[in-house]
Structure 1
Amino acid sequence: MANELQVAFKEIAEMRALPREVVLEALQSALVSAYRRDSGASSAQAVEARIDPATGQASIYVEKEVTDDVISPTTEVVLDHAREFNPQAEIGDMVMVQVDHTTKQFGRIAAQTAKQVILQKIREAERKSLYDEYITRQGDLITGTVQSMNSSMVTLSLGRAEAILPRAQQIPGERYRPHDKVRVYLLEVKPSTRGPQIIVSRSHRNMLRRLLEYEVPEIYNGQVEIKSIAREAGYRSKVAVAALQEGIDPVGACVGMRGIRIQNIVKELNDEKIDVIEWNPSPEAFISKALSPARVTGVYLEDDIHQGRTAVVLVPEDQLSLAIGREGQNARLAAKLTGWRIDIKSVTETVEGALENLDLPPLDSLAIRHAKLIEEVRAIMAKKSQNLTVMQEEYNRLSEFANVVERRLLQEREEARQEELEQIAAVRSTLPQELFSLPLSALELGEALTEALEPLENVGMVMLTMLIDEERLQALVGDIDGDALGAVQDSLDYIMEADLGALEEEFTVEEEVEEPQPEDVVETLEVADVEEVEEEPVAEVVEPSPAAELDEAVAEEEEDEDVLVAAFGGIPINEPEPEVVPEPELEPEMSEPKADAPASEAEFEQMLADFDYEDGDELYESGEARARKKGKNKRRQLIYDEESGEVVSKRRRKSSRKRNEWDDFGS
């Protein structure tokens, strides 16, 4: 019959769904902690616990020193007994020796310690196991049960774990009820102290991608590829698909027979409308299909250096609202799907504007080349203004003229753009090429201005934009307080006067230097602090004179500062550490060195009369007079120096609060 430890081992492994090795390691750690608590073993003494998986028998091994005479049985062992576990053991060696200690001998406190260790280790292993399980499923679909709801999120039960469905990731208008089964997209898995934090979504566009992979075998097998997805969750989505194998209709494969495949996805997404579009390598054809169900008359592409890629789309007048969609939704999704900025215009609007500007360039050239077409268009527009019926052939003629007008306008814009590019190239050739390798940080404009100039990428582009298109530069920095444009101009002037080669080398080196990790910074600071403390000279403490008159308020303030400094490990809090100034040697400055002392008192009095007094000097007085004035805080005092034979002045150091001594001398 299996022992109790083996039964508990199997029960924990099955209940927690953990590997046997993890549970075994937790039990061994618990036995070590219990033995240390029961026997009082030091943390410096190595203790190991070994469990036989087959029998469940536990053994405890303790590190002991091999000696001839055992004084402390818990840390020492005789040579004969040590060689039973290590035949090569010698006197003085450290040997792991099995102790006669079983789990039944543990006291109540030791058993409680073992229980806590086991629970802690198992919880940690369970959290790690859950994290490893769901991190591999990130980006996949999972099914959860609604557990609770509030205004900010929905909590889903995934079995052993819980997931969070934030409000921003929910489908608008969708309602959730407790115990409902919900299919969600696993968006992110974050480790935390309470287990993995699992964030799921139902509004992410990749959820539609995964649903298509599950419902359409051709996509899962790689015969049909999803090129791009544009989605507004709960309302409408557009999917562009392309066939990778000949003979396969990508749109038909996604829709399915009688629309059964796409209808399953629509039901899953709360009746969200899904448009499946065949991808086309031609941007014109792709944009035309992306605006379906609207019919498109013409598409004109323009890659502007300022506004980016723009597509002008002409549609019939009755298709304008359909192409734009409710609140611009159709046009917005088409722009996301294709990656082009789409400008939708009706044919009638284009024709009316062209007829009004036929006398102005660039449309004036059309009056001669397309005179007959223009006459027909004028007649059709007059007929339309009278609310008469316009035939389809006449609408086709209007579309033809609108296409001619848009092509001419596009040609004019292309010519203007080519001239601008030539101008930019000419101006750029006059600038030093080193400017285009300097980062924006070289301008030293501050964080806000540098962030605003990020679209220009480098100093050279900032200089080029300043010279060619100052309005664009003003638009970039317009939200910055103050004269931002003037600051940019000043920085550019400074850069032009500086050594560009040195600047390029300096900022290139700064970018290549790898910033230290936070742990490295902390470690470096700790080492620096230790070295600074070790090298700091110890100042000699001087006892204050009893005659010194100290301000009590200042003394109390200094005591509070000393307490705070001591609490922070001797590091000053608000002011730098004062330098320790060594005591100056008492070497009087002599006006004229004299070899001998004055011979008589008359000569000494004459010396006092000839001395150059200053405000605050004290005349030489007798011993009684000096005793009466002892302790007064005079600024200077005149005394006779016997060694030099001079009358010297002793000056009190004002900055010292700890001593009341005369330390500076002057004659």
Structure 2
Amino acid sequence: MNIEFLRALRDLEKERGLATEMLLEAIEAALLSAYRRHFGSTQNARVYIDRETGECRVFAQRVVVESVGDPRAEISLAEAKAIDPRYEVGDIVEIEVTPKDFGRIAAQTAKQVVVQRIREAERNMIYEMYASREGDIITGTVQRVEQRHVYIELAKTEAVLPPAEQIPGERYRPGDRIRAFILEVRKTPKGPQIIVSRTHPGFLRRLFEIEVPEIQEGLVEMKAVAREAGVRSKIAVYSRDPNVDPVGACVGPKGVRVQAVVNELRHEKIDVVRWDPDPSRFIAEALSPAKAVAVEVWEEEKIARVIVPDSQLSLAIGKEGQNARLVAKLTGWKIDIKSESQMEEIYAQEYAAFYKEQEEEYAERGS
């Protein structure tokens, strides 16, 4: 190694932010291991790289003792004083033992260390760049599909879209441009692993934030999101400004805003409903597209009974109970949906039970 090598390290510090001193210390540690490996030395030693010339030297280290027991690790006080009269028992004496062909080993080792540190720095940079974007949307190109895992090419790295995070029925082909939600960024020995999703409710939320300026400006707030990816979703929106229609803002002129999100999600149906601080009103809104006749709530248990016209019972429950499940997810309430005729029967039974109880009570009093 020489002055040019030191200049190259300083250039790396400017270009990639790798501290020269840190690199030199790492190279010295690696050279010490290489020295012991190539020359079979078990003695204590130190490798030093001159910060001005780049010259590399190896020093054996021995402890000054009165009586030498291990010549590889110890040196007598008399021998030490012959080198420098100031040495005392317990001091460390360094004797240069640089091998003749150590320069070649040093050059190879230094190159390996620098390359390794550059890779580590790049991996850390990529990790920091994407870790700070967890919960955001990225755009990339499908690189390959292996065992149903989709690998997406990004800037300087790739992301993985696992099967569980893929929209059911969606197909991915190499070369396709794709958007996804950054679910998690993990550190691994091979570099950062970026896990993305197209099914997470956060993906739907971020798409609306991108499409609706009123959300970006804080005029409209997304209060809740419920999603069954690839089939149907519901979002609850609210505005403190009475002049701003939150539902209209999200739907957009002629439905262009919501349609843009629908197209991104491969025609997933999306219900945009108005959030209301009154649970009964909010639940009635969340039932869309069905219309509620009445909503009974038990606030402590967070249970609600929704009454709908007979003709809308199946619509309110949805195919395989989907609409009811989404309403429960969106509102955070347990939902029981009944038709008007069912409620008439329930009320009739309740009244009958009540009158029977009253009759029994009167009979007991009379007796």
Q: What is the TM-score when the length of structure 1 is the normalising length? A: 0.45
Give 1:213's aligned residue. Answer: 209
Residue 314, structure 1, aligned to residue 277, structure 2: no
Please show how residues 500-649 of structure 1 align to structure 2 within 5 Å: none
Structure 1 residue aligned with 2:22, among 14, 20, 25?
Answer: 25
Give 2:118's aligned residue. Answer: 122
Give 1:46's aligned residue. Answer: 46
Matched to 2:329, the amino acid is K
Structure 1 residue aligned with 2:144, among 128, 142, 148?
Answer: 148
Q: Residue 236 of structure 1 contacts residue 274 of structure 1 at CA under 8 Å; is this kept in 2?
A: yes
Matched to 2:352, the amino acid is L
Structure 1 residue aligned with 2:298, among 295, 302, 327?
Answer: 302
Instruction: Give the match's secondary structure for 2:188.
Output: coil
Two-structure CA RMSD over aligned residues (Å): 3.8
Structure 2 residue aligned with 1:362, among 346, 354, 357?
Answer: 354
Q: Find the aligned partners of 1:245 and 1:95 in 2 and give their Cα distance.
A: 80
Show CA shifts across 1:191-235 (max 9, x none): 222222221111000111222222223322333222111001111
Please show how residues 73-472 of structure 1 align to structure 2 within 5 Å: 90-92=86-88, 106-302=102-298, 308-352=301-345, 354=347, 357=349, 360-362=352-354
Q: Find the aligned partners of 1:36 and 1:231 in 2 and give their Cα distance.
A: 56
Percent same amino acid at aligned positions? 45
The structure having more radius of gyration, on CA atoms, is 1
Matched to 1:30, the amino acid is I
Q: Find the aligned partners of 1:50 and 1:244 in 2 and give their Cα distance.
A: 68
Q: Find the aligned partners of 1:160 and 1:50 in 2 and give their Cα distance.
A: 36
Matched to 2:318, the amino acid is G
Q: CA deviation at 1:13?
A: 6.7
Instruction: Give the match's secondary structure for 2:288.
Output: coil
Query: How many residue pairs get matched?
Result: 339
Q: Find the aligned partners of 2:345 and 2:245 in 1 and give their Cα distance.
A: 41
Instruction: Give the match's secondary structure for 1:132.
Output: helix
Show CA shifts across 1:345-369 (max 9, x none): 11123335555x487222679xxxx
Matched to 1:333, the amino acid is L
Q: Using a 3 Å threshold, how does the CA distance of structure 1 residues 61 and 215 change in structure 2: closer, same or farther?
A: farther
Show CA shifts across 1:235-262 (max 9, x none): 1111111214453222222222222222
Q: Residue 31 of structure 2 contacts residue 47 of structure 2 at CA under 8 Å; is this kept in 1?
A: no
Q: Residue 234 of structure 1 contacts residue 269 of structure 1 at CA under 8 Å; is this kept in 2?
A: yes
Q: CA deviation at 1:113?
A: 3.2
Q: Residue 222 of structure 2 contacts residue 238 of structure 2 at CA under 8 Å; is this kept in 1?
A: yes
Q: CA deviation at 1:153?
A: 1.1
Q: CA deviation at 1:96?
A: 8.5
Q: CA deviation at 1:173?
A: 1.3
Q: CA deviation at 1:337?
A: 0.6
Q: What is the TM-score when the length of structure 2 is the normalising length? A: 0.77
Q: CA deviation at 1:291?
A: 0.2
Q: Using a 3 Å threshold, how does the CA distance of structure 1 residues 196 and 43 change in structure 2: closer, same or farther?
A: farther
What residue ranges of structure 1 are gaps of 5+ in the alignment? Answer: 83-88, 366-667
Q: Using a 3 Å threshold, how does the CA distance of structure 1 residues 222 and 49 change in structure 2: closer, same or farther?
A: farther
Show CA shifts across 1:373-430 (max 9, x none): xxxxxxxxxxxxxxxxxxxxxxxxxxxxxxxxxxxxxxxxxxxxxxxxxxxxxxxxxx
Structure with bigger RCO (C-alpha 8 Å, 6+ apart): 2
Instruction: Give the match's secondary structure for 2:190.
Output: coil
Q: Using a 3 Å threshold, how does the CA distance of structure 1 residues 95 and 20 change in structure 2: closer, same or farther?
A: farther
Q: Residue 184 of structure 2 contacts residue 195 of structure 2 at CA under 8 Å; is this kept in 1?
A: yes
Q: Using a 3 Å threshold, how does the CA distance of structure 1 residues 119 and 42 change in structure 2: closer, same or farther?
A: farther
Q: Using a 3 Å threshold, how does the CA distance of structure 1 residues 133 and 354 change in structure 2: closer, same or farther?
A: closer
Q: CA deviation at 1:321?
A: 1.9
Give 1:438's aligned residue. Answer: none
Matched to 1:26, the amino acid is L
What residue ranges of structure 2 are gaps of 5+ in the alignment? Answer: 65-70, 358-367
Q: CA deviation at 1:286?
A: 0.4
Instruction: Give the match's secondary structure for 1:173.
Output: coil
Q: Residue 235 of structure 1 contacts residue 272 of structure 1 at CA under 8 Å; is this kept in 2?
A: yes
Q: CA deviation at 1:20?
A: 2.9
Q: Residue 80 of structure 2 contacts residue 93 of structure 2 at CA under 8 Å; is this kept in 1?
A: no
Matched to 2:45, the amino acid is Q
Show CA shifts across 1:482-531 (max 9, x none): xxxxxxxxxxxxxxxxxxxxxxxxxxxxxxxxxxxxxxxxxxxxxxxxxx
